[in-house]
Amino acid sequence: MHDDTRSVARFAVSLEGYDSLTVPIHRASTIRYPDAASFAARFERSADGYVYGLYGTPTHRYLEKKITELEEGARTLLVPSGQAAVACSMLALVAAHEKVLIPDTVYGPVRDFATHELASLGIEAVFYDPVDLRALDSLIDARTRLVWTESPGSITLEMQDIPAIVLIAHAKGALVGCDNTWASPLNFRPIRHGVDIVAEALSKHFSGHSDLVLGSITTRDDALGLKIKASLGRLGIGTSPDDCVLLARGLETLAIRLARSDTSGLRIAAWLAEHPCVETVIHPALPGSPGHEIWKRDFSGSCGVFTFILKEQYAGQAFAALDALQIISIGASWGGTKSLIAPSTVKALRTVRPWTGPDYLFRLNVGLEHPDDLEEDLQRFFAVLIDGERNEPRSAVHG
């Protein structure tokens, strides 16, 4: 054998006695077959077999299995993002001339996908009031293939009655999907309540370190999972094994991180609710917040992601006040170790339940910093608000 051949040859190495405690990274585009007959029959392998790198390696299978166990489902599929999890579920399950119902408080990019891509495919997307069960019931007809849910809703955190929605939808032959990213399966298991498809933005709580983008789809039964899996294959949807290993590592501390986020988040939320600059705090686990009774009935915990609204006289100084923060960063996403705040607007994202509140709401992700330090940082924010309101002419404040 020549040196150039030796340089590219793959030599067998014994794995006997080797069992790594961590998840190994299996990178591959090509899967090698032992003989020609095996290659010719490659598409006859089981759904969990290995055919080509795009369709998964042992690294992917490990993560899929772990998420399936957490969700208490039948099959999990990995996709490049949480948005992809929602979009690919809809594409796989709803055909032209059929209908999908989507809550008015859905994640903004899902609304864009529905009104553009789904519409161009002849799929009717109808937005519904997330808390009006009677209105939802009236919208479901023979063409309705899927009822999508997101509980709590994006930014404004409306809680949906998932068990009731499942009963209504299933009685009329429709499937139910749920974006469960806020809670994760540790705090809410939609499949226990009859949901058929669960989407997770794994970039958030699962990853926990703000360094990757990944999503998952978990189905209640295997046949449904295989249908979505086939669609993903046709679309060429795959994920990186390196991202899967990072995700698996982050997942090992999910329970600890989520518990800390829960307790710290509630403490900060309660503190904000008493602050004189704050009009409202929206946190499903906070007593008195809209949807709290549903949260208390169906959920086993919460997280540090919630929204607060400033009193009107302080709104004009909000951006300058955000610049005073030293610990809390300004940025999108959430679920990581570091606290984040995002000034958010929802008026253009509501068509059924018009938003009549202020232009900007403030979504806070409480990370793993000590709550004392976070409160001190927020005091810097409020100090600028108060100083600005004190020095601003009344006519400028009240228009």
When pLDDT is averaged across residues 114-133 and rounded to a whole number, the result is 98
Structural domains of the chain, ranges and CATH numbers in brackets? 7-251 (3.40.640.10), 254-398 (3.90.1150.10)
Distance CA 54, CA 233 (A): 8
Write out the DSSP string of 241-264: HHHHHHHHHHHTTHHHHHHHHHHH
Predicted TM-score (pTM) of this structure: 0.94
Say yes or no to pLDDT of 191 above 50.
yes
Question: Are 130 and 103 contacting, i.e. CB atoms less than 8 angstroms apart?
Answer: yes
* E-assigned strand segments in 180-267: 197-201, 215-219
* CB half-sphere exposure, 21, CA atoms < 13 A: 1
* E-assigned strand segments in 182-304: 197-201, 215-219, 278-282
Distance CA 312, CA 398 (A): 9
Report whether the peptide linkage leading into residue 190 is cis, meaning its omega lies within 30 degrees of zero.
no
pLDDT score of 212 = 96
Say yes or no to pLDDT of 389 above 80.
no
Q: What percent of the chain has pLDDT over 70?
A: 97
pLDDT score of 395 = 38
The least confident of 102-106, 192-196, 384-388 is 384-388
Structure tokens at 187: 């705090």
The least confident of 275-279, 290-294, 384-388 is 384-388
Q: What are phi and psi of 141, to 5 degrees?
A: -130, -170
pLDDT score of 231 = 98
pLDDT score of 184 = 98
pLDDT score of 15 = 84
When pLDDT is averaged across residues 102-114 and rounded to a whole number, the result is 98
Say yes or no to pLDDT of 324 above 70.
yes
Say yes or no to pLDDT of 398 above 70.
no
Kindly state the helix (H) or strand (E) to which residue 384 belongs, with its residue range.
helix 371-391
Tens-place pLDDT, residues 246-255:
999 999 999 9
Helices 254-273 & 371-391 angle (0-180, nearest 10): 30
Binning pLDDT at 50, 70 and 90, where does residue 392 land?
low
Say yes or no to pLDDT of 111 above 60.
yes
Tens-place pLDDT, residues 42-65:
888 888 889 999 999 999 999 999
Tens-place pLDDT, residues 149-184:
999 999 999 999 999 999 999 999 999 999 999 999
Burial classification of residue 360, based on how many CB atoms lie within 10 Å of its CB (0-12 exposed, 13-18 middle, 19 or more buried): middle
Q: Taking Cα atoms as reference points, which of 219, 187, 184, 218 lies closest to residue 334?
A: 184
Q: What percent of the chain has pLDDT over 90?
A: 87
Distance CA 67, CA 61 (A): 10
Say yes or no to pLDDT of 396 above 50.
no
Distance CA 20, CA 352 (A): 53
